[in-house]
Amino acid sequence: MTTFTAVDTFEIEHCYKCGIHFAMTKDFQDRRLSDHQNFYCPSGHPQHYIGESDRDRAQRLAGQLDMERTRRQQAEKTADYATRSRKAVSTRLKKVKQRVGHGVCPCCNRSFKALADHMATQHPGYAQSGETP
């Protein structure tokens, strides 16, 4: 005589159609929860799980997390670009103001004594300040 002993975990379900209670292994239930395929009650009624399984939900949330990480990285790149751009424009403006303050035309790069005198007497701190009049 041969003896076989096994320990398995069963989950109790009930048929939506006839109401009979039946058991299925936990492993089988987990597979049906994840793949949403049909299984049958002892009376032969087909049924399946609907909705998201825990694994489906975890995969969806992981995908959302990846998208949010990508958005954050893009926002950081955009902010870094804006900061560098602002610094470059500020530096260029400061150089132009210094040249105008010393009487140099910003368009044609010619020096005008009258502009230099005007800036020195009427706007003495213009070339050194970061402000516009």
* Domain segments of the chain as ranges: 10-47, 54-122
The percent of residues above 90 in pLDDT, for the chain, comes to 54
Q: Which pLDDT belongs to residue 129?
A: 64
How many alpha carbons fall within 13 Å on the CB side of residue 10?
A: 8
Stated as kind and residue range, the H or E segment containing 80 is helix 54-101
**Stated pTM of the model:** 0.50
Reported as a pLDDT band with limits 50, 70 and 90, residue 133 is: very low
Structural contact between residues 37 and 49, judged by C-beta atoms closer than 8 angstroms: no
Structural contact between residues 39 and 32, judged by C-beta atoms closer than 8 angstroms: yes
- The C-alpha atoms of residue 26 and residue 103 are separated, in whole angstroms, by 87
- The C-alpha atoms of residue 93 and residue 126 are separated, in whole angstroms, by 12
Q: What is the pLDDT of residues 105-125, one digit of tens each?
A: 888 888 888 888 888 888 888
Q: What is the mean pLDDT of residues 74-92?
A: 96
